[in-house]
Structure 1
Amino acid sequence: MALSLPKDKIRFLLLEGLHDNSVKVLKDAGYSNIEYLSHALDPEELAEKIKDAHFIGIRSRTQLTRDILEQADKLIAIGCFCIGTNQVDLEAARELGIPVFNAPYSNTRSVAELVLAEAIMLYRGIPEKSAVVHRGGWGKSATNSHEVRGKVMGIVGYGSIGSQLSVLAESLGMKVIYHDVVTKLPLGNASQVGSLEELLQKADIVTLHVPDVPSTRYMMKAEQFNEMKEGSYFINAARGTCVEIDDLAAAIESGKILGAAIDVFPKEPKSADEEFESPLRKFDNVILTPHIGGSTQEAQANIGLEVAEKFVRYSDTGDTITAVNFPEVSIPVKEGSHRLLHIHKNVPGVLSQINSSFAAAGINILAQSLMTEGNVGYLVMDVDNDDSSEALERLKGIEETIRVRVLY
């Protein structure tokens, strides 16, 4: 029977200057057919390049739309070498049988450190003072300059970044409160509050650490800024779609918000050559950074390692644990067997059809695991070597089949 492609025939397309770790992991695992580019591709180039790729690795600039994915006949997995996956049509990928992997935890420390540093800078009025000195002034004053010790940090979203920030902030003597849509066990002396409104009213500085989902889109607008303390501070290193920027600008203009630090924006330049536009540019008391919360060498190294290892596990064993859009399946490798992967439409009776067909043919199943998500089911099964050719043909004959692969 035809087994999986030899490793030197499996093609990886890595875009946007991923860390060298990503290439090293793949090469160490025996994969050598790797095209590495330091930049994103425009849609036409991308559509052409992706046609022959089995795996594609991207960061945030590359947009994998349904139209692009439907042209990628050989594509079997996508790696987002970052936290977010907004740049991928996840539903289209799932329907086409393509799992998407990301790195949700590798840059948490980098983001938490930046936010803490920004909190200190804002409380000391450093952004404005620095701007004055750059213009030749000398605004030596303690007005609106404070230590962060004893101040209340309000963290919206107590996940991997929010909770790590909580620990760092407490180490500086800050009091931490947080709000999350689910009840979370606090770290240290942090305490969960019952509502976003309560957090906004109590916090001296508010920082967002939430995903981009319908409930968080423009969650901070005029009404919420009005709820905040007079002379408080605001930080967003989460998602640009969480904040109504014009309303934030108005709150800063009025003095309600004494300063802010923003790393993500509703509309961001596609390249360094495109001018960044925002009403926040006119304020000296606002720190603006170009979406670099997780952009440290340490974070990029960890991300390269994490996502590339997920590529290897999926290619070698069919393991989809931590895939963001796909059923999560993992079974141990069994010697003396052939492993088949069956991706199919999630309708009742598919597994029954497969097992009945295999039983009729006397095919011995050594192991199998089926999980479903949305409209897709994913079955991993091991069969006796002598039965593998027949098993493959019978899986191909299942009407609901989207894709069948043989790994070994």
Structure 2
Amino acid sequence: MGSVAPRALLLENPHTNADPILSRAGLEVSRHPGALDEDELIEALDGVDILGIRSGTQVTERVIEAHPNLTAIGAFCIGTNQIDLRAAARRGIAVFNAPFSNTRSVVELAVAEVIALTRRLTVRDKALHSGTWDKTASGSHEVRGRTLGIIGYGNIGTQLSVVAEALGMRVVFYDTAEKLALGNAHRMGSLSELLAVADVVTLHVDGRPGNAGMFGREKFEQMKHGAIFLNLSRGFLVDYGALREKILDGSIAGAAVDVFPNEPRRNGEPFESELRNLPNVILTPHVGGSTQEAQENIGHFVAGKLAAYQRSGSTDLSVNLPRLTLPPSAAARYRVGFVHRNTPGVLALVNQTFAEHGANIEGQILGTLGEIGYVVTDIGSELPREAVAAVSEMEDTVRLRVMTRPGVQEATDGEER
């Protein structure tokens, strides 16, 4: 291999604190301010080893097939539905995200919107801006004593639950997985039960394909008359045409939407939605996690995961490969990261190959996830090129990376498949 430094390309302006973290891992960092479409991305990835994106760039199977030598992808956000995770795993490309870093920012936005909509502050604000004084308590309520229904009780849903209770709200939630109720929150047996009692309904579910279109006309009709609806989760979860009808006929008293099925790729581009210009509706441009604090945390967290993978092969909190971290060994001279198809006997064959070529194993860890297996091995002796070549050529090999002095620097003479 040549001596050219591996490259990282960051799109959509993740926090600049990511750059020095990646640079210290030996990466040459470049940036592009906006999202790229599929063809633009394929062209931009020439010579790139690590890709960083946010929610506006789609990393499709076609992109991955065009650039199978990508080492890793970092999603500087919570969601990863914009990445074909299975295609990446099949090519041995590790994917990382920031599952916790912007939780507080999303929660604070949700709380602010619940209060604003319940007090109809949007209507009062618009009237004054148009020059009309309209002081009234009509339709305005305290949030204290009202019921918040949280759909999806994960990192955001649970923290929102605690904050809402502190405001005096009653909290009910529904999740398809078993979740421990925090505080006085009450788990509902079905989504229909939640919708029947909630004064405010807020979505906080993930972007798996099975959730697409989960909240349509039928669900809106099950909500209490005069309830409020929030979606700070995923745009494709909701039928916004049905929401528009319910806002206009008064069935739903207000809504806040931060995510849309089709979002502009760059600032300044036109935005169209059937929810524009509706009364007591707050529209925000996917800014749930867009605070300085959240973006700084995300930049540090995701860049740190990418750097650790680049230096030492750690897949801690990867979303598509087995999660492994092998502590560094003082006796190790090389570290081998081996992604393979999850087939019985692969590890024994790898170790036999190393032994036959005189390579001494100091430490090793194995994990599997579905059709993919991942092994990290520390070698305390010389690592003959013949051993690396033999493992690379095994039928079940997906990718082989050789790193020197674990946690410090990737080998300049390592082989990769």
TM range (shorter): over 0.9
Structure 1: gaps (5+ residues): none
- 1:214–1:38 CA distance, 2 compared to 1 (3 A): closer
Q: How far is 1:110 from its partner?
A: 0.3
Q: Conserved in 2, the CA contact under 8 Å of 1:201 and 1:229? A: yes
| Deviation larger for 117-126 or 86-95 | 86-95
Aligned equivalent of 1:380: 376
1:134 aligned residue (129, 134, 140): 129
Q: How far is 1:394 from its partner?
A: 2.7
Q: How far is 1:141 from its partner?
A: 0.7
Q: Give matches, 1:152-171, under 5 Å.
A: 152-171=147-166
Structure 1 distance, partners of 2:278, 2:11, is 35
CA deviation profile, 1:87-137 (whole Å, cap 9, x unmatched): 211111111110110001100000000000000001111112222222222
Q: Conserved in 1, the CA contact under 8 Å of 2:322 and 2:373? A: yes
Q: Give matches, 1:42-57, under 5 Å.
A: 42-57=37-52
Structure 2 distance, partners of 1:244, 1:379, is 44
2:8 alignment partner AA: F
| Deviation larger for 352-361 or 74-83 | 352-361
Q: Give matches, 1:55-94, under 5 Å.
A: 55-94=50-89
Q: Give matches, 1:230-241, under 5 Å.
A: 230-241=225-236
Query: Secondary structure of 1:385's match?
Result: coil
Q: Check if 1:340 corresponds to 2:336.
A: yes
Structure 1 distance, partners of 2:387, 2:89, is 24
Aligned equivalent of 2:213: 218
Structure 2: gaps (5+ residues): 405-417
Aligned equivalent of 2:186: 191
Structure 1 distance, partners of 2:27, 2:363, is 31
Structure 1 distance, partners of 2:37, 2:215, is 33
Query: Secondary structure of 1:407's match?
Result: strand
CA deviation profile, 1:42-67 (whole Å, cap 9, x unmatched): 44442222121111111112221222
2:397 aligned residue (391, 396, 401): 401
Q: How far is 1:391 from its partner?
A: 3.2
Q: Conserved in 2, the CA contact under 8 Å of 1:177 and 1:190? A: yes
CA deviation profile, 1:239-278 (whole Å, cap 9, x unmatched): 1111111111111122111111111112222333432222
Q: Conserved in 2, the CA contact under 8 Å of 1:131 and 1:284? A: no
Which structure is higher in helix share?
1
Q: How far is 1:72 from its partner?
A: 2.0
| Deviation larger for 357-366 or 174-183 | 357-366
CA deviation profile, 1:372-407 (whole Å, cap 9, x unmatched): 223222111112223454431331231221221101
Q: Conserved in 1, the CA contact under 8 Å of 2:357 and 2:384? A: no
Structure 2 distance, partners of 1:386, 1:283, is 69
Q: Conserved in 1, the CA contact under 8 Å of 2:37 and 2:58? A: no
Q: How far is 1:73 from its partner?
A: 4.6
Aligned equivalent of 1:355: 351
Q: Give matches, 1:283-294, under 5 Å.
A: 283-294=278-289
Structure 2 distance, partners of 1:152, 1:47, is 48
TM-score calculated relative to the size of structure 2? 0.92
Q: How far is 1:361 from its partner?
A: 4.0
CA deviation profile, 1:116-168 (whole Å, cap 9, x unmatched): 00000011111122222222222211001111111111111111101111111
Structure 1 distance, partners of 2:231, 2:105, is 14
1:385 alignment partner AA: S
Aligned equivalent of 1:297: 292
2:364 alignment partner AA: Q
TM-score calculated relative to the size of structure 1? 0.94
- 1:310–1:216 CA distance, 2 compared to 1 (3 A): same
Query: Secondary structure of 2:276's match?
Result: helix
Q: How far is 1:32 from its partner?
A: 5.2
| Deviation larger for 166-175 or 107-116 | 166-175
Q: Conserved in 1, the CA contact under 8 Å of 2:360 and 2:381? A: no
Aligned equivalent of 1:22: 18
Query: Secondary structure of 1:197's match?
Result: helix
| Deviation larger for 226-235 or 396-405 | 396-405
